[in-house]
Amino acid sequence: MRRRDPLTDDMFLIPTPVAPVPASMDYRAEVAHLVSAVIKDSGVDRYELAARMSRLTGQEVSKYMVDAWSSESREAYNMPFHQAAVLESACETLALTTWLAEKRGARLLVGKDTLTNELGKLERVKEDAAKKIRELKRIMGEME
């Protein structure tokens, strides 16, 4: 009996964007929840996180702002998009980028994975070219 690996279930699924259904893309609560999870998973307290973000941007980021961005009940205070990369840097994560890629029907590749992906594409191109070359040679051989 074959065992299924629960970690690779989605490995071969083709990513598709979320359907653009009217009133279905209000992501405020989802983003706030994700920001909260990122902060919690980072192990960095909110004062330190605010200080890190302030240093990275050169602009004041307060603990109050971080609290507001991560609160699902404070819909008027979602994190500004320009702070997403800053939060990820301060928390050493790619969770927000991954979330956005998935919403848009993409999959995030980072570091060596991007090179592995490019190598795979080039190998397919090489195989396709070899097939065409063989076919042309076959046709040319029949013409003689």
pLDDT tens for each residue of 97-130: 999 999 889 887 778 877 887 888 889 999 999 9
Residues 41, 101, single domain; the answer is: yes
Which pLDDT does position 2 carry in this prediction?
57
Residues 32, 102, single domain; the answer is: yes
pLDDT at 46 over 60: yes
Half-sphere exposure of 34 (CA within 13 A, CB side): 18
Does some domain include residue 88?
A: yes
Q: Which of 114, 120, 112 is nearest to 101 (CA)?
A: 114
Q: What is the mean pLDDT of the chain?
A: 87
Does some domain include residue 11?
A: no
CB atoms within 10 A of CB 50: 20
> The pTM is what?
0.70
Does some domain include residue 18?
A: no
Which pLDDT does position 5 carry in this prediction?
58
Residues 48, 88, single domain; the answer is: yes
Which pLDDT does position 122 carry in this prediction?
87
- Could you give the C-alpha distances from 40 to 60, 73, 93, in angstroms and in order? 21, 17, 12
- The number of residues in the chain equals 144
User: pLDDT class for 6, splitting at 50, 70, 90?
Assistant: low
Token pair of 75, please?
């819909």
Does some domain include residue 16?
A: no
Question: For residues 83-122, b (16+ Cβ closer than 10 Å) or e, as one string?
Answer: bbebbbebbebebbebbbebeeeeeeeeeeeeeeeeeeee
DSSP 43: T
Residues 95, 115, single domain; the answer is: no
